[in-house]
């Protein structure tokens, strides 16, 4: 049996007992934001000394629920966040034909150098014992940003051309768990056999035909979109070109909207997906060949079914069975209710 604190530790991803009991309010998150920005300014100076040809390194900002901390500081100053997801930008070197491999190598290199920097400078606040990433893997820092105030910072790494996309992709609906919107994006991607992860909307082709994105052998990877505001239009353009590269997509005025990350709502995203399906149908893409659906209704239903499956998988996760004390059960039930309410709303629009 896990206590509430132990269950939250697992759920929230805490890596150190030092972070337990620390309430990350908007004011503390602002301090953490300033700390990470200064850390990266210092790291960049160290890199230029040790690697003179290094390109700029940037600590961009908190993402996830923390992306709203300036607004919360004014309107909800007592709000409590979990650990902090922080978007950082690493440069990429080389002109390898394997873009993903080059990016992965860059992340490993800079994470290893980051921990060399911590060790050599004895950087103020960093708890090297509990922090992770010295081997080049994903960086998770335990940092003392104020006396006796330890916070966990999980680095979300991006590269220059993906920054704007990553900021939008990792922005949840305000005051709603990120899985609510994130699962809807991935449900659409799964239905269309594309990817909508941290590197934009992308597809894989084999001999000119669309194949599941998980395939690796003998495939060509295509970038569909890096812009949330034009995402749905870009998807239409891609699939129309895939069907017939001599055809220009037909759009009506105000036919299809993108996703405005400054004004997110679950209904807005779902309605955008519904419009996308209608435009794909009108342009002849939903022919059972280019993609596996023959109508907008089929595509919309598939997205709704995918979403329901993802929400059911979340609720059936074994970690929730370990919550037995009243606070843990209350937290679990809140997540369950959020997921079921979201599932119902999406189904009402797409199902």
Decide if pLDDT at 55 tops 80.
yes
Contact call for residues 19 and 83 (beta carbons, < 8 A): yes
Set out the domains of the chain in order of their start, with CATH numbers: 4-169 (3.30.460.10), 178-350 (no CATH)
How many Å apart are CA 90 and CA 58, to the nearest integer? 7
pLDDT class for 7, splitting at 50, 70, 90? Answer: very low
pTM of the model: 0.87
Please list, in sequence order, all residues whose beta carbon lies within 8 angstroms of the beta carbon of residue 284, skipping any fewer than 6 positions away.
240, 243
Decide if pLDDT at 62 tops 60.
yes
User: How many percent of the chain have pLDDT more than 90?
Assistant: 72
Decide if pLDDT at 166 tops 50.
yes
* 3 state DSSP class of 54: coil
pLDDT digits (tens, 9 = 90+) for 103-144: 999 999 999 999 999 999 999 999 999 999 999 888 999 999
For 17, the token pair is: 């007992």
Give the per-residue pLDDT at 295: 97
For 210, the token pair is: 């669309």
How many Å apart are CA 93 and CA 312, to the nearest integer? 42
For the segment 324-329, the average pLDDT, to the nearest whole number, is: 74
pLDDT digits (tens, 9 = 90+) for 231-280: 999 999 999 999 988 778 887 767 787 888 889 999 999 999 999 999 99
* 3 state DSSP class of 156: strand
Q: Which of 345, 173, 172 is nearest to 273 (CA)?
A: 345
pLDDT class for 157, splitting at 50, 70, 90? Answer: very high
| Phi and psi based region of residue 120 (left: phi greater than 0; alpha: psi -120 to 50; beta: remaining) | alpha
Q: How many CB atoms lie within 10 A of CB 306?
A: 20
Give the per-residue pLDDT at 5: 37
pLDDT digits (tens, 9 = 90+) for 271-310: 999 999 999 999 999 999 889 999 999 999 999 999 999 9
Decide if pLDDT at 319 tops 80.
no
Contact call for residues 9 and 20 (beta carbons, < 8 A): yes
Decide if pLDDT at 11 tops 60.
no
Element housing 306 (H / E): helix 296-315
Mean pLDDT of all residues in the chain?
A: 89
pLDDT class for 15, splitting at 50, 70, 90? Answer: low
How many Å apart are CA 34 and CA 28, to the nearest integer? 10
Backbone dihedral angles phi then psi of residue 181, each to the nearest 5 degrees? -80, -40
Give me the residues paired with residue 205 across strands. Answer: 210, 220
How many Å apart are CA 158 and CA 344, to the nearest integer? 33
The DSSP string of 98-153 is: -HHHHHHHHHHHHHHHHHHHHHHHT-TTB-TTT-B-TTSS--EEEEEEETTEEEEE
Give the per-residue pLDDT at 12: 46
Please list, in sequence order, all residues whose beta carbon lies within 8 angstroms of the beta carbon of residue 165, skipping any fewer than 6 positions away.
198, 199, 200, 225, 226, 227, 228
Give the per-residue pLDDT at 248: 82
For the segment 12-31, the average pLDDT, to the nearest whole number, is: 79
pLDDT class for 14, splitting at 50, 70, 90? Answer: very low
Give the per-residue pLDDT at 303: 98
């Amino acid at each position: 049996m896990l206590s509430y604190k132990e269950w939250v530790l697992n759920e929230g991803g805490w890596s150190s007992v030092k972070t337990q009991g620390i309430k990350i309010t908007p004011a503390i998150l602002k301090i953490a934001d300033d700390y990470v920005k200064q850390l990266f300014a210092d790291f960049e100076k160290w890199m230029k000394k040790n690697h003179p040809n290094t390109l700029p390194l940037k600590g961009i900002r908190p993402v996830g629920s923390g992306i709203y901390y300036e607004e919360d500081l004014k309107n909800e100053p007592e709000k409590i966040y979990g650990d902090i997801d922080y978007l950082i930008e690493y440069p990429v070197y080389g002109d390898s034909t394997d873009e993903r491999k080059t990016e992965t190598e860059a992340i490993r290199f800079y994470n290893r150098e980051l921990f060399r920097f911590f060790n050599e400078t004895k950087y103020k606040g960093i708890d090297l014992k509990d922090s992770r990433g010295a081997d080049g893997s994903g960086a998770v820092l335990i940092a003392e940003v104020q006396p006796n105030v330890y916070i966990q910072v999980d680095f979300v790494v991006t590269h220059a051309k993906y920054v704007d996309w990553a900021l939008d992709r990792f922005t949840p609906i305000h005051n709603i768990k990120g899985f609510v919107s994130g699962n809807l994006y991935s449900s659409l991607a799964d239905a269309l056999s594309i990817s909508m992860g941290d590197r934009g909307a992308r597809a894989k082709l084999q001999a000119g035909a669309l194949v599941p994105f998980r395939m690796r052998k003998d495939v060509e990877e295509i970038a569909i979109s890096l812009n949330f505001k034009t995402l749905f239009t870009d998807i239409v353009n891609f699939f129309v070109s895939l069907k017939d590269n001599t055809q220009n997509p037909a759009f009506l005025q105000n036919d299809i909207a993108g996703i405005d990350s400054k004004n997110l709502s679950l209904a807005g995203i779902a309605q955008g997906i519904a419009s996308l399906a209608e435009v794909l149908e009108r342009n002849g893409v939903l022919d059972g060949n280019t993609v596996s659906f023959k109508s907008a209704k089929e595509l919309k239903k598939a997205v709704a079914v995918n979403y329901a499956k993802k929400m059911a998988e979340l609720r059936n996760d074994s970690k929730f069975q370990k919550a037995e004390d009243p606070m843990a059960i209350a937290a679990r039930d809140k997540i369950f209710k959020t997921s079921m309410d979201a599932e119902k709303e999406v189904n009402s629009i797409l199902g």
